[in-house]
Amino acid sequence: MRGVVFDGKQAQVVDDLEVRAPGPGEVLVAISAAGLCHSDLSVIDGTIPFPPPVVLGHEGAGVVEAVGAGVTHVEAGDHVSLSTLANCGACADCDRGRPTMCRKAIGRPGQPFSRGGTPLFQFASNSAFAERTVVKAVQAVKIPEDIPATSAALIGCGVLTGVGAVLNRARVDHGESVVVIGAGGIGLNVLQGARIAGAVTIVAVDANPAKEAVARRFGATHFVDASAAGDTSAAVREILPTGADHAFECVGHVRLIRQAIDLLDRHGQAVLLGVPGFKEEASFQVSSLYLDKTVMGCRYGSSRPQRDIALYAELYRQGKLMLDELVTEVYPVEDFAKAVDDARHGRVARGVLTF
């Protein structure tokens, strides 16, 4: 079968992948579509260290082909969106409703794939850049069949992370103000999460002025062109003189993390979603935090995928959550190299691979 394999030096499309049958508590899914996320690119460029050879992809949707023993919530023929959260369901964090903190969900990756007799690792417990993949049952969430696969695929990472950061982690409330630094795939979902939450002033900040139209479409009430503003913070302060209730950093740059903190009003929250290099350090003025300001990380939108994916699918069907509009370009998997180039050069909000 076809898939995208990173061997430690380059990523390429191959056609001789094999995947094992599902075991107890597992599901075999035929992938219909998979979004190309910057986390996949970060594996290729080394920002996210991951053992090769590995089958890439972690934002997918498809149809269940088979289930292992003990799986009852989905069956063959069901349409599913996949999460990357292979949590155990039995530890203290899972029991508290915090599956993103499950230590078994962050463990060493499995090797359900093989190629020419050589085992290959699974990226993010998912590997959606393959015609078929095996995931834990908890990762497969049944969705209505009328949601296009190219849109449903994006729920499992970008939407869970961005919208979830707003609703689950920051818990943005009606009437509050939000600054979103970076209007890429994650940033757009933060913007629409803030809109859904009822924020009144939503400021998008990006160095690409061409993103203004799409940022406003997703919920931004204001747009600051970071490439043109001599002092980006000053430009934001013209809109929010006392600062923002919430600032989301969606780029992964330590300078922008500092900017997010500096843009907060009293009792404000800075939420870090971008991924800098794993050894990078950020600095801030400690005294600025004594006005009850908070700096918080957020893993995977602090989500509970079995609940949240179903919720977001319903919000989409009600016209409240935008998914189709996130899909800028659809590529056959054979055009993976072009999809990567478009993503790296900011030509797309989200590119989607199809099989």
The pLDDT assigned to 228 comes to 83
The pLDDT assigned to 230 comes to 78
φ, ψ at 231 (rounded to 5°): -130, 100
Helix axes 38-45, 336-344, angle to 10 degrees: 100
Assess contact for 132 and 65: CB atoms under 8 A: yes
Instruction: Say whether 320 sits in a helix, a strand or coil.
Output: coil
The better pLDDT of the pair 283, 332 is held by: 332
Mean pLDDT of the 182-189 span: 94
Outline where DSSP puts E strands in the chain. Answer: 3-6, 11-14, 18-19, 26-36, 54-55, 60-67, 79-82, 113-115, 118-122, 132-136, 140-142, 177-181, 201-206, 222-225, 244-249, 264-272, 294-297, 329-332, 351-354
φ, ψ at 135 (rounded to 5°): -130, 165
The pLDDT assigned to 202 comes to 98
Nearest in space to 55 (alpha carbons), one of 40, 75, 42, 39:
40
Outline where DSSP puts E strands in 150-306. Answer: 177-181, 201-206, 222-225, 244-249, 264-272, 294-297
Mean pLDDT of the 323-331 span: 96
Count CB neighbours of 197 within 10 A. 21
Mean pLDDT of the 323-335 span: 96
pLDDT digits (tens, 9 = 90+) for 105-151: 876 689 999 999 999 999 999 999 999 999 999 999 999 999 999 99
The whole model's pTM is what? 0.94
pLDDT digits (tens, 9 = 90+) for 257-314: 999 999 999 999 999 999 887 788 998 889 989 999 999 999 999 999 999 999 999 9
Quote the mean pLDDT of the chain.
95
Mean pLDDT of the 314-325 span: 97
The pLDDT assigned to 193 comes to 98
102 pLDDT more than 70: yes
